[in-house]
């Protein structure tokens, strides 16, 4: 009798728990598409799938988001336009590629503005306490989009055929970048010859000598096999790679408030766990590259060289208000202020 009563209580608890989950969302079913800038297994696609799984579980199966990895719906430029038009409801892009539609996002492309430690924690503080993201959202909304968070995907690294140990080593180097006017100015200031190019064309561009070098985080260098046709991988300590999960404004504004809040909560709460995930992944991919190609050389710039690069990077800061579009001054002020306040709160000394 006691066992029967315990079983009944357990079944009743399961019933109540199931009802509680279903009660998170009681409206009609919602289906959506999410286009990712990265291939299956890489950061954006992995976390897009986590987002889809979370929303499906939270809604007891009523919210279904289908994730499309890089290449299935077009190039990096195409998928941002599809989200702007509402052909897909979500896009997971980065601060550079989406700047073709929201130029203010290029504030995140300014080099040497973030500390070299605790970047996910800084972004987390900014998302929860800062003024930058609300201002960025206004700029996104002016272009029919809504940013849901700002995510750390690791530091950008330069791969090349020759070593880069000082500023002079980048002189005249044909270097592939993402499509961002400000990024182009960053690397022009370093003496390079920047060449924006679609993600899927980089490997062949390196292989055929159309470009000498390229910039990407470590996981991309590994998964896209860029290291196979390069000899050196160099850390300038200049820019974190920041992803921006984004939703079509009309679609988002038409959702119930509780669904909007849950979507934002997922991405905000994911900033630090995702940062930890990608830090481990990048370290693992570095080891895999070393094993696959023992001749590959990894190098982090010494402080003296970093000072040279930083001095050149600072000459570009004054260009952002012109390149960044309407309200760019306020966006940049908010970004720099948020970073400074986050460093204080997190006791970051640099």
pLDDT score, position 24: 84
pLDDT exceeds 90 at position 320? yes
Structure tokens at 108: 């995140």
- First and final CA of the chain: distance in angstroms? 66
pLDDT exceeds 70 at position 5? no
Instruction: Name the one residue in this structure whose structure tokens are 């809504």.
Output: 146
Residues 2-345, CATH architecture: 3-Layer(aba) Sandwich (3.40)
pTM listed for this prediction: 0.91
Average pLDDT on 219-226 reads 97
pLDDT tens profile 92-132: 999 998 998 999 999 999 999 999 999 999 999 999 999 99
pLDDT exceeds 80 at position 3? no
Neighbouring C-beta atoms of residue 313, cutoff 10 Å: 22
pLDDT score, position 75: 84
At residue 197 the predicted structure's pLDDT band, cuts being 50, 70 and 90, is confident
pLDDT exceeds 50 at position 4? no
Return the minimum-mean-pLDDT range out of 9-18, 304-313, 325-334, 338-347. Answer: 9-18
DSSP string, 166-185: SGGGGTT-EEEE-S-HHHHH
pLDDT tens profile 13-48: 333 333 334 468 999 999 999 999 999 999 999 999
Locate the domains of the chain by residue range: 2-345
At residue 6 the predicted structure's pLDDT band, cuts being 50, 70 and 90, is very low
* Neighbouring residues of 291: CB distance < 8 A, sequence distance ≥ 6: none
* Neighbouring residues of 318: CB distance < 8 A, sequence distance ≥ 6: none
Return the minimum-mean-pLDDT range out of 82-91, 157-166, 177-186. Answer: 177-186
pLDDT score, position 21: 43
Q: Which one is predicted more confidently, 8 or 175? A: 175
* Helix ranges, 114-235 (H): 119-129, 132-141, 181-189, 202-208, 218-223
DSSP string, 44-69: HHHHHHHHHHHHHHHTTT-EEEEEE-
pLDDT tens profile 140-162: 999 999 999 999 999 999 999 99
Output the average pLDDT for the chain.
Answer: 92
At residue 350 the predicted structure's pLDDT band, cuts being 50, 70 and 90, is confident
């Amino acid at each position: 009798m006691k066992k029967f009563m315990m079983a009944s209580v357990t079944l009743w608890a399961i019933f109540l728990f199931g009802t509680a989950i279903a009660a998170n969302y009681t409206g009609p079913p919602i289906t959506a598409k999410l286009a990712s800038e990265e291939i299956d297994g890489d950061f954006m696609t992995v976390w897009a799938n986590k987002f889809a799984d979370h929303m499906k579980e939270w809604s007891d199966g009523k919210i279904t988001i289908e994730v499309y990895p890089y290449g299935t719906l077009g190039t990096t430029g195409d998928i941002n336009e599809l989200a702007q038009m509402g052909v897909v409801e979500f896009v997971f892009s980065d601060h550079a590629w989406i700047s073709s539609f929201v130029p203010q996002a290029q504030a995140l492309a300014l080099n040497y503005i973030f500390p070299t430690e605790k970047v996910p924690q800084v972004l987390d503080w900014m998302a929860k306490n800062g003024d930058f993201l609300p201002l960025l959202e206004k700029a996104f909304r002016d272009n029919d989009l809504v940013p849901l968070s700002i995510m750390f995907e690791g530091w950008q690294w330069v791969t090349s055929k020759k070593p880069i140990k000082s500023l002079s080593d980048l002189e005249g180097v044909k270097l592939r970048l993402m499509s961002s006017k400000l990024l182009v100015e960053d690397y022009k200031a370093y003496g390079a010859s920047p060449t924006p190019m679609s993600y899927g064309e980089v490997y062949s561009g390196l292989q055929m000598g159309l470009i000498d070098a390229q910039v990407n985080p470590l996981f991309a260098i590994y998964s896209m096999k860029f290291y196979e046709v390069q000899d050196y991988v160099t850390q300038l300590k200049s820019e974190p790679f920041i992803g921006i999960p984004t939703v079509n404004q009309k679609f988002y504004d038409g959702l119930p408030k509780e669904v909007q809040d849950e979507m934002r909560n997922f991405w905000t709460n994911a900033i630090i766990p995702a940062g930890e995930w990608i830090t481990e992944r990048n370290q693992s991919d570095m080891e895999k590259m070393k094993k696959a190609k023992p001749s590959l050389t990894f190098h982090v710039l010494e402080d003296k060289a970093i000072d040279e690069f930083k001095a050149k990077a600072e000459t570009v800061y004054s260009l952002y208000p012109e390149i960044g579009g309407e309200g760019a001054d306020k966006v940049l002020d908010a970004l720099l202020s948020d970073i400074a306040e986050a460093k204080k709160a997190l006791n970051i000394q640099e």
